[in-house]
Amino acid sequence: MATQPEKRVNWNRASIEALIDSDRGRLDRRIYEDEAIYQLELERIFARSWNFMCHESQIPEPGDYFINFIGEDQVIVARDRKGKINVMLNTCRHRGNALCRAEQGNAKSFVCSYHGWNYDLDGRLIAVPGRDIYYRDKFDRTQWGLAHAAQVENYLGFIFATLDKDAPPLSEYLGDVGRTGLGMIAAYGDVEVIEGIQKNVIDCNWKIAVDNLFDWYHVMYSHASAGATGVVDLPAILHPKNQLVMLGDYGHAISGPGVPSHLQAEADALSDEERAAYKGPALVNMAALRPREAVALMGPEGIRSAGHPNIFPNAWVTLNGLQICLRLPRGPNKTELWWFTFVPKAFPPEYRAALVSQAIHLFGPSGLLEQDDGENWSQSTRASRGVASRKLDHVLEMGLGQDEVKVHESGQRVIDTTVNEHGQRWFYRAWSEWLAAESWQELEASRTAPPEGVI
């Protein structure tokens, strides 16, 4: 074991690319503790990518707003009087004070608590106390509106924003895999977010929390106690031999249980009445019996997924399309988890109540699964800080070179396999490519395309 003092690295393309060895499945642990890497992530990943802000059902009326983050930049997502959605940095242009302190609500305008500058819902500075006397009528308030995100777009009701004007259009950014992931929610039809976002902080690096959502290896072991309580039926959801993986552009991926093609075909052949009465294997009930229209949103292969999509970098679609969880970075060693719970508007009250109960008991501050996961993530992160420990690579070898990405007629690329680590390797490979590129142009020129064939 090495005991020589380390030199702290000045990160460049070569040293960043060396952090992940995708061909051998090795990962350098310094990615979880290095402050310079963390700052690069904020600049080159979060400030450059499209970030999930909220669902349009959360801000239906003029004046409605929701506070979120792009990396560590806090933003106000506000619907103005014309109905347009604005994403603006939540920092007063005078001396930087946080303008809006409530997490969500309805406002006529945003008034700063420090000196009283007043901003309209579209970010224009509309009033400055003492402008006549103290500023002697010389202050041009038209120059000092709130800073806006470079681009804001709405895909099927999901609002995303990016701070980079060079980012591609949202639909192109999402690509097939991102669109399939969001389609998992939209497949339920007209949905809304249940009031109250569950939020909690875990002492872990945000990437550990992301890679875990592709990790179906830990489920039977880490969550055995949750299974014993009866709150989850692990054998029913795990299906180790029916795993379906999709690897998409920019690092998006889906991994987890998938309906085998023959079962999907059987389900598709059922009449609407037969579908309503169907009591087949749990996996088929979960995914194959989505409304028929879902195939237009998820594609003929994607619709077989009951797994976990992640919209790169940090938006996880879970509970088979009934939640989104954001893994928000708060330094190399801290992550804030935000849980958005979706419900079809047509659901009767008892279904809605059951969904809320499930959301509370599985994830968030009182979630049984989250307690199991959080302990592992925080200890894995903690062990990356030790001088000797951080020199030991992580191993991501499972399934390496043993599976095949098949390209179907529809163009969708799918791996049908058992439990594996393809999603994690793809995520970290994309992560390193984003981190090494200094601009969108460089990223587009250097990134790896989603693979085909043996992987």
Q: Which of 95, 108, 292, 408 binds ligand FES (CB under 6 A)?
A: 95
Report if residue 115 touches ligand FES, rule: CB under 6 A. Answer: yes
Q: What letter does residue 393 receive in the DSSP assignment? A: P
* 143 to 172: interface string for Fe ion, x by CB under 5 A: ------------------------------
Q: Which lies closer to ligand FES via its Cβ, residue 117 or residue 155?
A: 117
Report if residue 431 touches ligand FES, rule: CB under 6 A. Answer: no
Contacts of residue 413, defined as CB under 8 A and 6 or more positions apart, other chains included, come to 176, 246, 247, 405, 406, 407, 450, 451, 452
Binding-site residue total for ligand FES (CB under 6 A)? Answer: 9
Residue type at 205 in one-letter notation: N
Sheet with 118-119: list strands edge to edge.
Answer: 110-111, 118-119, 125-127
Q: Which of 74, 97, 109, 285 binds ligand FES (CB under 6 A)?
A: 97
SS3 261: helix
For residue 373, the partner it binds in ligand FES, Fe ion, none, with Cβ less than 5 to 8 A by kind, is: Fe ion
Long-range contacts (CB closer than 8 Å, 24 or more residues apart) made by 34-37? 34/8, 34/9, 34/332, 35/332, 36/8, 36/9, 36/10, 36/11, 37/11, 37/332, 37/435
**Sole window of 111-119, 148-156, 379-387, 417-425 interacting with ligand FES (rule: CB under 6 A):** 111-119
Q: Which lies closer to Fe ion via its Cβ, residue 208 or residue 298?
A: 208
**Sole window of 85-93, 149-157, 190-198, 366-374 interacting with Fe ion (rule: CB under 5 A):** 366-374
* 329 to 358: interface string for ligand FES, x by CB under 6 A: ------------------------------
- 40-77 burial: b if 16+ Cβ within 10 Å, else e: bbeebbbbbbbbbbbbbebbeeeebbbbbbbbebebbb
Residues 75-94 that bind ligand FES (CB under 6 A): 92, 94
Residues 368-407 that bind Fe ion (CB under 5 A): 373
SS3 352: helix
Report if residue 114 touches ligand FES, rule: CB under 6 A. Answer: yes
Q: Is 252 exposed, middle or buried (0-12, 13-18, 19+ CB in 10 A)?
A: buried
Report if residue 112 touches ligand FES, rule: CB under 6 A. Answer: yes
Q: What backbone phi and psi angles, to 5 degrees, belong to 150?
A: -70, -35
Report if residue 124 touches ligand FES, rule: CB under 6 A. Answer: no
Residue ranges of alpha helices (H) inside 187-249 are 206-212, 219-222, 224-229, 234-238
How many residues make up the chain in this entry?
455
Report if residue 284 touches ligand FES, rule: CB under 6 A. Answer: no
Q: Which lies closer to ligand FES via its Cβ, residue 92 or residue 254?
A: 92
Residues of this chain that interact with ligand FES (CB under 6 A) are 92, 94-95, 97, 112, 114-117
| Site residues, Fe ion (CB under 5 A) | 373
